[in-house]
Amino acid sequence: MHSYHQIIRVFQVLILSYLGGNALYLLFFAVCGFFKKDVRQNPFTSFRHITIVITAYKEDRIIDTVIKSALQQDYPGELVEIILLADTFAEESLQRLRSYPIKLIEARLAESTKVESLKLSIDYLNPKTEVIVILDADNLMEMSFLRKLNLALDSGFRVVQCHRSAKNTNTSFAFLDAISEEVNNNIFRRGHVAIGLSSALIGSAMAFHTDIYRRYIPQLTAVGGFDKELELKLLRDGIFISYLDNAFVLDEKVQSSKIFYSQRKRWMTAQIIYFGRDFFPSVLALFRNGNINYFDKTLQFSSLPRVLLLGLLGLIAGINLFIYNPVFNWLWFGAFIACALSILISIPNHFYRKETFRALLYLPLAFVLMLSLLFRLRKSDKHFIHTNHDIQTP
């Protein structure tokens, strides 16, 4: 009996170390987000030639909105070029899109992935272009987006992740997704940059110097989660990713549990794959070259999604109330509080309203969905999973 209790105790220590470590990591960077460094702004030098690359798969209904948004930027028009990679669009949509002053590329890809579209875009880049901005078909830039980006690039940044925020909060799941986006912005972007670490990429609203784009995009092979593969390659080579907090791009949030499940399945699969591939190389890079950014990124990929982490910590802390072991009771409760605090202090003030508390009622469902995903990830990295969009205006 004594050996049985010892085994349970050791097992509990191991699980607590992992889950509690996740919670403390989140809390540390959530607090760091309050001490963000403003982007060092050098005096304005010149307007750069910027190419906006928009990847779109079967987005006939919403694509006009993002095109118009890009064309209305408060930036010299002769220095902005738009490349639209239109994959599997209806002929009538293509006819309509040909009327816009853009480079319309009718992508007929064997594999309809974002990576393949981005690779195709390289063949159509203007030789004069200095900066590439990647957008999704549902993204809307604020009017001054390109001006803010151009000024930030005067500070010498070569890769910049901009502030992506919610276009819609029309359902409880969209509301939860919008909050999640802002929590990510605080912890993995604002909080990291505040202490000199590299920002995480999101997948869109990203800007690259042309030489970086031409060099790294052809190396990508991801079916899903290309941004994870890309940032690992950048960080491995010591290329810093900055974060521009005041340059906003609106992004459509998932509106149903079905889309939530599909999207998170893609994300979790990519995270597990790249952790497995890069963890040991990142450890070697840390000790050989002091490459903390590369190592930190693989640590992020080893973490559980926040909804799953919060749910498991709360569940285990509750179970431990019925087990008389004051030390473990307090440790589990402390880990749960740390995780909850990291989320609460990262939520922007404008989300603290009645709709937020209504959306929180869906957290148990989100937890169950995420838990079920752990048993259904096999081979989901082999197939392209498309997220449908239908919100045309914010």
Pick 50-262's CATH classification: 3.40.190.10, 3.90.580.10, 3.90.550.10, 3.40.50.720: 3.90.550.10
pLDDT at 392 over 70: no
Per-residue pLDDT band at 293 (split at 50, 70, 90): very high
Helix, strand and coil percent figures for the chain, each rounded to 5: 55, 15, 30
- In this predicted structure, the answer to whether residue 40 has a pLDDT above a threshold of 70 is no
Nearest-Å Rg of the Cα atoms of the chain is 22
The pair phi, psi for residue 4, each rounded to 5°, is -65, -45
pLDDT surpasses 70 at 278:
yes
Quick one: pLDDT at residue 235? 97
User: Domain extents for the chain?
Assistant: 2-35+301-381, 50-262
Quick check: 380 pLDDT over 80? no
Q: What percent of the chain has pLDDT over 70?
A: 91
Q: What is the pLDDT of residues 176-202, one digit of tens each?
A: 889 999 999 999 999 999 999 999 999
**Band of residue 72 on the pLDDT scale cut at 50, 70, 90:** very high
User: How many beta carbons lie within 10 A of that of residue 110, not counting itself?
Assistant: 6
Angstrom distance (rounded) from CA 326 to CA 121: 60
DSSP sequence for 151-214: HHHTTT-SEEEEEEEES---SHHHHHHHHHHHHHIIIIIIHHHHTTPPPPP-SSSEEEEHHHHH
User: Mean pLDDT, the chain, as a whole number?
Assistant: 88
DSSP for 38-65, written as a single string: PP--PPP--PPPEEEEEEEES-TTTHHH
Percent of the chain with pLDDT over 90: 58
The pLDDT assigned to 331 comes to 93
pLDDT at 273: 87
**Total-model pTM:** 0.90
Q: Is the pLDDT of residue 369 over 70?
A: yes
The pLDDT-based confidence of 363 (bands split at 50, 70, 90) is confident
| Beta-ladder partners of 250 | 140, 165
Residue closest to 230 by CA, chosen among 218, 244, 242, 245? 218
